[in-house]
Amino acid sequence: MKITNVTSPPTSVSIYENWDGPGADDIEDKLTPGHVQDVVEIFQTPLTGHYNWDYSSADGRIRKLYRLGKELNWNADMDLDWSQTFPRSEVPLDQSFNPFNGWPTFEALSDDEKLRFGWHNLAWMLAQFMHGEQGALLVASQLASCAPSYDAKLYAASQTFDEARHVEVFTRYLQEKIGILYPVNPNLKALLDKILSDPRWDLKFIGMQIIIEGLALAAFNTLKLTAHDPLLKQIIHLVIRDEARHVTFGVNYLEDFVETLSEEEKEERAHFAFEACVVMRERLISTEVFEHFGWDVDEAREQVLSSTIMAQFRNLLFTRIMPNLKRIGLLTESVRPRFEELGILQFENLVDDGEVDWAELSKPLYDEAS
């Protein structure tokens, strides 16, 4: 095993050797077994851990979520049919959601290049999910140590295993079914760095359980509707089941805790939540794909931002986050105008995840997968 330490994430796009889809011959950076190595970036964190010597369950909701996590564990090797292969000659996503339809630079591409763009765009999207899930894996492992209550420690431990499965399944799909690996988006990386390196356990909860996972849950539901590959739909279905529990856990746990904070502490966390939302909105723009295709990044970014479909899509992703922030008490008067400027305050009165839908969370794994 070779370990290579780096000071920042890789920036190049990698194409796996088994990829034979559109544009495969144009890529110089191909991975072979000789290239396999562990590329690691070290981060430091002043983590403060908590023992808990009271082993009684103080919150029945959190314990029940933990039990559901145990009951609904799934195995990517056994519960998914990896023999399914979606044709690489077909576009992988519903093109009615493509913000570049009608844009001269995109329309000038050949049909093969448009197909290649579609696969790269999906690869970028799934890679960001994969990188985000690794961040969630690291944060959940931290929470098992630093969360103060016994129930939260148990749940964080079960979530750590959930996140490990998510990293595994997205990695396998990218390697075996797409063959393209994009580096982590700088905006997502910056937020993960902040969450991982902050010593306050509740800020980790807010950043990961409420913001990153809340946005991911909405994005997963959209992808499940727009993806054409049945295998990918099944993967997303299983991941959604886990993520729904994670967000519900975060809302229920933080709701009581935030009430114990001073007004100054609440404001600090409210502004952090706002800044995290700003960063995550920018994370939704696939800048790295634009660069890979040699497009003018600023022009392509403006095309995305001016697209009515994409504006609706970006805002839709915050339909889970805003009511949850309100539920836990972090939509303070000082941040409300700033959320209004983003156009997402309108979602504050939608249904939040504080009221647990036990029947929905308890459904069998494949109740809706087909």
CATH code at position 205:
1.10.620.20
pLDDT above 70 covers a percentage of the chain that reads: 93
Residue 34 has pLDDT above 70, yes or no: no
Instruction: Quote the number of domains for the chain.
Output: 1
The answer to whether residue 172 is domain-embedded is: yes
* pLDDT single digits (tens) 276-324: 999 888 777 899 999 999 999 999 999 998 888 887 787 788 988 999 9
Q: Which helix (H) or strand (E) holds 213?
A: helix 213-226
* pLDDT single digits (tens) 249-277: 999 999 989 999 999 999 999 999 999 99
The answer to whether residue 38 is domain-embedded is: no
The answer to whether residue 105 is domain-embedded is: yes
The answer to whether residue 221 is domain-embedded is: yes
User: Sorting pLDDT into bands at 50, 70 and 90, what band is 229?
Assistant: very high
The answer to whether residue 80 is domain-embedded is: yes
Residue 172 has pLDDT above 50, yes or no: yes
Token pair 């993520």 is found at: 243
Sequence-separated contacts (24+) of 68-75 with Cβ below 8 Å: 68/245, 68/361, 68/362, 69/155, 69/158, 69/159, 69/162, 69/242, 69/245, 70/158, 72/241, 72/242, 72/365, 73/161, 74/165, 74/238, 74/365, 75/165
The answer to whether residue 43 is domain-embedded is: no
The answer to whether residue 129 is domain-embedded is: yes
Q: Give the structural domain span for 244.
A: 13-33+59-361
The answer to whether residue 3 is domain-embedded is: no
